[in-house]
């Protein structure tokens, strides 16, 4: 065969042209498929999930006096402290949740120390004032409470004026008075007397009965910390002795509309379950002055619950009132 025979003719080129195009097409399709596979296999780089610390706002609370504790002592939970209702038994603002403040060096060792009081569950300044024989406003001032109502369970409060020494409770006669008086009825009425018709002097004060009705329940120091005296709705309630009103309102559960009168540094009296309150806080009253009207607020019947407190401790009112 000659060189001329090996050279492809025009006829041969025409014959193999479709085959060449098919080969080129297959090569192109294969290349595209390979590129698509690479693209499908490629993914994003793994992302490590980390928690980002969130800056939480801190709530600053007033610097309240607090019982001192060691550094390992657990923090106490906040408590709700009652807000003072409007005088005369009106509704009050919503309760305030008070964070427990850090301990104050001034109150270190205040627990069980004379002149100090440790706040218990359910306390408010009105009740503490009744229990300690002090004006709730004085307690707020002595303890640096800005609005007077943010206290926490376990908090230690000063209940005597700064710099004052607690008075010794050395009156044995008052301690004996905590027991029920022989012959004093606890459920059946006794003969009533005219209010203000008689007076008795005791503890440096002259006392009269605040209402003239029968005694429904006597003093026992535990279940009943005073006398329950019967009467009719709207009957005048009189101040048992001269003094100054330190509370007028309905902020103490179980007492209804309540008047508290401080007579001196030793004695105060409480008048509970009234229908209407006729005096305001810080008002000076005289023995026999009308301070309220009898009612049944927070009670199962019309009655006056009358208490005498000596240095905050309940004592039997029958030891001070005129004999019936």
In the chain, where the domains are located:
79-158, 173-319
β-strands 205-207, 200-202 pairing: antiparallel
Question: Tokens for 265?
Answer: 């540094």
Class at the top of the CATH hierarchy for domain 173-319 = mainly beta
Q: Which residues pair with 118 in a beta bridge?
A: 156
Question: What length does the chain have?
Answer: 324
Report the C-alpha gap between 66 and 153 in whole angstroms: 10
Nearest CA-CA partner of 280 in 263, 298, 259 = 259
For residues 244 and 283, the answer to whether their CB atoms sit within 8 Å is yes
Alpha carbons within 13 angstroms on the beta-carbon side of residue 306 total 32
Report the C-alpha gap between 304 and 296 in whole angstroms: 8
Report the C-alpha gap between 229 and 214 in whole angstroms: 6
Question: In tens digits, what is the pLDDT along the chain, a chain of 324 residues?
Answer: 554 455 555 555 566 666 777 777 777 777 776 666 655 555 554 545 455 454 444 434 333 333 333 434 444 444 333 334 434 444 333 333 343 343 343 444 445 578 888 998 888 888 888 888 888 888 888 888 876 667 889 989 988 888 877 766 544 334 333 333 333 333 333 333 334 456 778 778 999 999 999 999 999 988 999 999 999 999 999 999 999 999 999 988 999 999 999 999 899 999 999 999 999 999 999 999 999 999 999 999 999 999 999 988 999 999 999 998
Class at the top of the CATH hierarchy for domain 79-158 = alpha beta
């Amino acid at each position: 065969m000659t060189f001329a025979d090996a050279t492809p003719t025009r006829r041969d080129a025409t014959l193999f042209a479709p085959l060449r195009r098919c080969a080129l097409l297959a090569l192109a399709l294969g290349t595209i498929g390979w590129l698509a596979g690479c693209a499908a296999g490629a993914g994003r780089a793994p992302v490590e999930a980390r928690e980002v610390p969130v800056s939480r706002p801190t709530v600053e609370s007033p610097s309240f006096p607090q019982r001192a504790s060691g550094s390992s002592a657990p923090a106490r939970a906040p408590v709700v402290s009652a807000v003072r209702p409007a005088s005369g038994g009106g509704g009050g603002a919503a309760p305030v949740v008070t964070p427990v403040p850090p301990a104050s060096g001034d109150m270190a060792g205040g627990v069980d120390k004379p002149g100090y009081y440790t706040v218990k569950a359910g306390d408010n300044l009105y009740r503490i004032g009744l229990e300690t024989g002090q004006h709730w406003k004085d307690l707020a001032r002595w303890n640096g409470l800005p609005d007077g109502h943010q206290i926490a369970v376990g908090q230690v409060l000063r209940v005597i004026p700064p710099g004052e020494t607690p008075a010794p409770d050395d009156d044995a006669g008052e301690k004996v008075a905590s027991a029920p008086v022989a012959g004093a009825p606890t459920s059946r009425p006794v003969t009533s007397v005219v209010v203000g018709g008689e007076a008795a002097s005791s503890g440096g004060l002259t006392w009269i009965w605040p209402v003239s009705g029968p005694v429904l329940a006597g003093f026992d120091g535990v279940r009943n910390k005073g006398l329950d005296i019967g009467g009719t709705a709207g009957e005048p309630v009189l101040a048992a002795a001269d003094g100054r009103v330190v509370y007028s309102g309905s902020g103490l559960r179980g007492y209804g509309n309540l008047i508290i009168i401080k007579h001196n540094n030793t004695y105060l009296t409480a008048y509970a379950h009234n229908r209407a309150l006729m005096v305001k806080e810080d008002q000076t009253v005289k023995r026999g002055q009308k301070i309220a009207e009898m009612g049944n607020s927070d009670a199962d019947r019309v009655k006056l619950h009358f208490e005498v407190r000596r240095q905050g401790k309940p004592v039997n009112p029958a030891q001070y009132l005129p004999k019936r």
